[in-house]
A and B are shown apart, each in its own frame.
Chain A
Amino acid sequence: MNQRRKIRVLVGKPGLDGHDRGARIIARAFRDAGFEVVYSGLHQTPEEIVQAAIQEDVDMIGLSSLAGAHMYLFPRVVELLRENGADDVVVCGGGIFPEEDVPRLKKAGIKEIFTPGTPLPEIVNWVEENVRPRS
């Protein structure tokens, strides 16, 4: 059966941030969109997230941060992916960020940033348009 390749996504919570309601809602929305979603759980280091992403062979990593350390954590994930030869994995992020950080994160290789209030279908559409299951 030539079934369609499924999009595989890792939803990760890097850093010392204990709030994963948002991440779980995103995970659920991704599941409902037909993606396979690996949820890594709380308090992950960027190193752990990247290792999990490699073992799970995901197409995208969605990072959630509400604790203010995104300017270190998010770019670090991108950097580690590159070091591991896995820079074909798309990284995007969600959470609460000062406006001026958004362009800086994008410059650091985070492909898109979603802030509070973004409707779920918009995020799902973005993934469907920007993330291709590898072939």
Chain B
Amino acid sequence: MNAAQRIVSGDVRAVARLIRDIDDMLPEAREVLKDLYPFTGKAYVVGVTGAPGVGKSTLVDQMVAHWRKAGKTIGVLAVDPTSPFSGGAILGDRVRMQRHSMDEGVFIRSMATRGYFGGLTQSTRSAIDVLDAMGKDYILVETVGVGQDEIDIVQSADTTLIVLIPGMGDDIQALKAGILEVGDIFVINKADREGADRTVNDIRLMIEMDEKRYKNGWKPPILTAQAVFDKGIAEILDEIENHASYLRSSEEKRSRVRYEKARNNLVEMIRDRISMEVLSDIVQSGEFEDAVQLIVDRQIDPYTACDNIISKKLRPGTK
């Protein structure tokens, strides 16, 4: 059996290894992904995002438990930040999901963001494809939701949950134009804390102000939960189902969503690939660092430096 066949048959080690190769950006991984592609497109992908400490991992843990009771299989991708100083990362999301580690119907994988050459969006999407091809019914992608990369990841989900906690009122103002706009369902977790009602109202106001956008479409529901006590989880899963049926409700909507996703995905893939092709040699040869130093010493301007590199690397007909 080749790697792709092993993954489709549910071989956990083969899946784990391929995700590693994707993370490490091995060109071989791409070949396996090509073989796997015909087996993808069946899983339902749910993004769970929110600031550190709002309870994403605990929420994911409870959602997994509920879906498992309903006989569904689950893949979890938990993304945690890479230290910009050392390049290392502590991936601690598993701690909250320990009880599922012996369950063969659940595959949990921690991923680090890996910094600016990391291609996080691409590697997460590829990892989603792997778990999809492996046959998981639901795939949960947990991210901190900061920065464009993570917004892109979230947008590749079918349904996006934004998790907040009471007292985040003022932060909501700051976040408004960012990640909040891509939320399909809002969850106010730790709702037993003071100020939950106010946070619900803040979000409601934000949504109402955007009425035009939601008029003929999906208006994001706002739910409260206490994930630690398993409260409010069933309601969240119901809303995910509602959102799924909304997406399925018309062929036109469905093909538009698919088109948008395929388009974004391809644009990003090309962008990542080009920057990789351009950068890999010159980073290794030190040419890149030299150019940076020249800019720092103000011996060259960054526009010319960029022109030089691009014209050298992207001349038509050469590689």
Chain A residues near B (Cβ < 8 Å): 1-3, 5-6, 8, 27-28, 30-41, 43-45, 47-48, 51-52, 54-57, 84-86, 133-134
Please measure, in the bound complex, the distance between the C-alpha atom of A20 and the C-alpha atom of B23, giving whole angstroms. Answer: 29
Residues of B within 8 A of A52 (CB): 94, 101, 108
For the complex of A and B, the 5 pairs showing the least CB-CB separation, nearest first, are A41-B95, A31-B88, A57-B16, A57-B20, A34-B87
Please measure, in the bound complex, the distance between the C-alpha atom of A40 and the C-alpha atom of B78, giving whole angstroms. Answer: 13
List 17 additional contacts besides A38-B91, A40-B98; criterion CB under 8 Å. A1-B25, A1-B117, A1-B279, A1-B280, A6-B23, A6-B88, A28-B90, A31-B83, A36-B89, A37-B89, A38-B92, A52-B101, A54-B12, A54-B13, A54-B16, A55-B107, A55-B108
Among residues 1 to 54 in chain B, which have CB atoms less than 8 Å away from a CB atom of chain A? Answer: 12-13, 16-17, 19-20, 23-25
Instruction: Among B86, B96, B284, point to the contact of A32 (Cβ < 8 A).
Output: B86
Chain A residue nearest in CB terms to B98:
A41
* 7 A–B pairs (Cβ distance < 8 Å), ordered by A: A1-B117, A1-B276, A3-B117, A34-B88, A36-B91, A44-B98, A48-B101
Chain B residues near A (Cβ < 8 Å): 12-13, 16-17, 19-20, 23-25, 82-83, 85-92, 94-96, 98, 101-102, 107-110, 112, 117, 119, 276, 279-280, 283-284
Tell which of A2, A36, A47, A86 has the most Cβ of chain B within 10 Å. A36
Please measure, in the bound complex, the distance between the C-alpha atom of A33 and the C-alpha atom of B83, giving whole angstroms. Answer: 10
Assess whether B87 is in contact with A6, with CB atoms less than 8 Å apart: yes
Chain A residue nearest in CB terms to B272:
A1
Please measure, in the bound complex, the distance between the C-alpha atom of A5 and the C-alpha atom of B19, giving whole angstroms. Answer: 13
Please measure, in the bound complex, the distance between the C-alpha atom of A8 and the C-alpha atom of B89, giving whole angstroms. Answer: 9
Assess whether A38 is in contact with B88, with CB atoms less than 8 Å apart: no
Tell which of B101, B108, B284 has the most Cβ of chain A within 10 Å. B101
Please measure, in the bound complex, the distance between the C-alpha atom of A33 and the C-alpha atom of B87, giving whole angstroms. Answer: 8
Known: A31-B89, A38-B94. A5 touches B110 (CB 8 A): no
Instruction: Among A6, A36, A48, point to the contact of B98 (Cβ < 8 A).
Output: A48
Please measure, in the bound complex, the distance between the C-alpha atom of A54 and the C-alpha atom of B19, giving whole angstroms. Answer: 12
Chain A residue nearest in CB terms to B101:
A48
Residues of B within 8 A of A57 (CB): 13, 16-17, 19-20
Chain B residue nearest in CB terms to A37:
B90
Residues of A within 8 A of B89 (CB): 31, 36-37
Residues of A within 8 A of B90 (CB): 27-28, 31, 37, 39
Please measure, in the bound complex, the distance between the C-alpha atom of A56 and the C-alpha atom of B279, giving whole angstroms. Answer: 29
B25 to chain A, nearest CB (A): 6
Chain A residue nearest in CB terms to B107:
A55
Residues of B within 8 A of A36 (CB): 82, 88-89, 91, 110, 112
Tell which of B83, B91, B283 has the most Cβ of chain A within 10 Å. B91
Residues of B within 8 A of A39 (CB): 90-92, 94-95
Residues of B within 8 A of A6 (CB): 23-24, 87-88, 112
A84 to chain B, nearest CB (A): 8
Assess whether B24 is in contact with A3, with CB atoms less than 8 Å apart: yes
Assess whether A56 is in contact with B86, with CB atoms less than 8 Å apart: no
Please measure, in the bound complex, the distance between the C-alpha atom of A107 and the C-alpha atom of B23, giving whole angstroms. Answer: 34
Please measure, in the bound complex, the distance between the C-alpha atom of A32 and the C-alpha atom of B24, giving whole angstroms. Answer: 19
Residues of B within 8 A of A3 (CB): 24-25, 117
B290 to chain A, nearest CB (A): 18
Residues of A within 8 A of B85 (CB): 32
Assess whether B16 is in contact with A40, with CB atoms less than 8 Å apart: no
